[in-house]
Amino acid sequence: MALKGEKAPAQRVIRVPGGGFISGHPRLVRYTLIVVLLILLGAGGWGFWKWRSLYSGMPKLPEVADLWTVKREPAMEFIDRKGATLDVRGPRYGRATSVDQLPEHVPQAFIAAEDKRFYEHDGADDAAIARAAWSNLRAGETVSGASTITQQLIKNLVLDSRQTVKRKAQEVKLARELEKQLSKKEILTLYLNRVYFGAGLYGIDAAARYYFGKEPGKLTVAEAALLAALPKAPSKLNLRENLAGAKERQDYVLSQMVEMSFITQAEADKAKAQEIVIIDPPTYDPQLGYALDAASERVKAMLPRIPGDLVVTVSLDMDLQEKIQKQLADRMAKDGTSAGASQISALLIEKTGRVAVLVGGTDYTTSEFNRVTQSVRQPGSSFKPFVYATALEDGYSPYDVFDDAPIAIDKWKPENYTGNFLGPMTMSEALARSINTVAVELTQLSGPARVADTARRFGITSKMEPYPSIALGSQEVSLWELTRAFGTFQSGGLRLDPWLIERIEDSRGNVLYQRPEYDRDRVYSEELAREMNGMLYRVVNSDIGTGGRARIPNWAVAGKTGTSQDWRDAWFVGFSSAYVGGVWVGNDDEKPMKKVTGGGLPADLWSDMMVIAHNGKTPARLIGADASVVVSEAAEARIAFYRGLSQAFSTAAGQPLASRSGYRVEP
């Protein structure tokens, strides 16, 4: 209040933001302005902080090429040489399909169902977002997302699926960035190839093939509308579990297609009336699991980085695989039980190295253990060819005569399977009869380390120790490597490198690996290989050979039997000019069989396999088979004389021989 005689201070009137006025004491006005300014600054700062926080930690948009592969669960599809699917490990992604490969009504169905203004917005539809925000505000919860097709791509491939304002803001921003990098057609193509359709199916190709049994380019309007109904709730509307629910959504899609003039009402009515046939899910032969497991392991070893959508072409000849698989199973059911053998493994390799057949056991569903590649067992006498191959390199001949008589190496006294000794015989006869003493003597003459080196050169990869017992196959190997090593004999001295994988691609058709043509390494003399093949031919085709049951009509075949200690393992490995094959029988727990030898059940199984493989083929000459060692009557008489003399001497002396030198009998 002013004192008497004084003028009252003037009232100040000040306009404030918002169009109002403040009048009063200057100090009050000043404080009011400061408060208002602070509030405005605070609100602006909070707004700026909030705006920044929406985009903090926002991931960068991946490279365009990476959008095809990001966030893929690991999946591997195996196909045969004809392109038929053998199995799918993981989700089914299908082949990449461009919008240009589809009839117009397919992409139109998805646009009508998911994003009617797809060709008008810049990645995010502001009008739709506003409508969705109002609907959510009124409902008090999230009932609408207003996501465009581009936003759905961002949500599925870049961000997570949480329903938050921050995630939505980032989704909008990234969607608009993506639209600057890709055309509408490219975005729609990417969407159709990455969207989930339920039942483990990703992409339009997988959905069309596994729901309708057709390629996506042949989808009808009704089928396209039905598939377009799924992305909204793919698990709930799974066509194999809730076809009725999916058809309700299909009606909506068709009505929207009519509204957008994509189709006429008559076409929509026709589509609604069309009977929808959902095919049964594909079934695959579980026995192929052995080969596909092996292929999968090789893929992991071959590629430095494993994409999530591999398509692997395997080498298997499916016609032979199915026939041989069945025949071996039937034979094992008939003869295996009585023989005390519960397991089998078999491998058939074309002369080129392509693996045509792989049987890793009797039942994959019971045991996934692959007895071709994972199991290592004693090969017994089937290892002897590497002993004889080394002896030939050291200058010995199939005509050289050695004495089958007792032999001792330190405290080890190996015996023959029969327990008898036959006296003098050629190397060829010793191999045909599978004589242990001669194999041991040859190993001592060459040296166990030299024999091990020969086996490694031929393709044996298991560890080989230079022990004298290596002569009799005491060191464990797999059927894969033993069969591979026999391929060196078949080819005339070139090492065989078997292959199970022909090509590796991704779902877009990019070739990541293609089996190259290659020159096989020479690891053995062709002349000596011919001599070895002559001896191995005699194992199967002479009256004295242990492998007579492995013969096949009209074809020259060679090979070797093998039996491990106490009949725990029995083998036959051999070859024709067209194939190299191996068979093993036994028990996983190494329980002895009922005196099964390699010349028995394994030779029968091998013959069964080879008869099927050679059916319809023109017989071809086997290198060295025509050089099978046959000696003259005079030479046979001299051998018989020395054999009798040796047996008489051994009986009289009663002493084993520590070492003997061979002598040659000309044919």
Which residues are catalytically annotated?
114, 381
d(CA 404, CA 646): 9
CA torsion angle 554 557 563 567 (round to 10): -20
Give me the phi and psi of 377, to 5 degrees please: -140, 165
Residues ≥6 apart with Cβ < 8 Å to 599: 546, 547, 548, 549, 550, 561, 572
Residue 300 parent element (H or E): helix 289-302
How many residues belong to the chain?
667
d(CA 195, CA 199): 12
Q: Interhelix angle for 384-393 vs 448-458, to 10°?
A: 110
Q: Are 380 and 564 a contacting pair, CB within 8 Å?
A: yes
Report which of 377, 398, 418, 414 is spatially closest to residue 562, judged by C-alpha positions: 377
d(CA 256, CA 226): 13
d(CA 180, CA 614): 61
Find where tokens 């029988």 sit.
Answer: 585
Find where tokens 């404080």 sit.
Answer: 31
* Token pair in block for residue 162: 């949480």
d(CA 467, CA 444): 10
Strand ranges across the sheet with 511-514: 85-89, 75-79, 309-314, 501-506, 511-514
Q: Are 509 and 319 a contacting pair, CB within 8 Å?
A: no
HSE (CB half, 13 Å, CA atoms) of 467? 11
Q: Are 414 and 472 a contacting pair, CB within 8 Å?
A: yes
Residue 357 parent element (H or E): strand 355-359
Residue environment code for 508-525, b if the CB has 16+ CB neighbours within 10 A, otherwise e: beeebbeeeeeeeeebbe
Question: Is beta strand 75-79 parallel, antiparallel or unpaired with respect to 21-24?
Answer: unpaired
d(CA 12, CA 21): 10
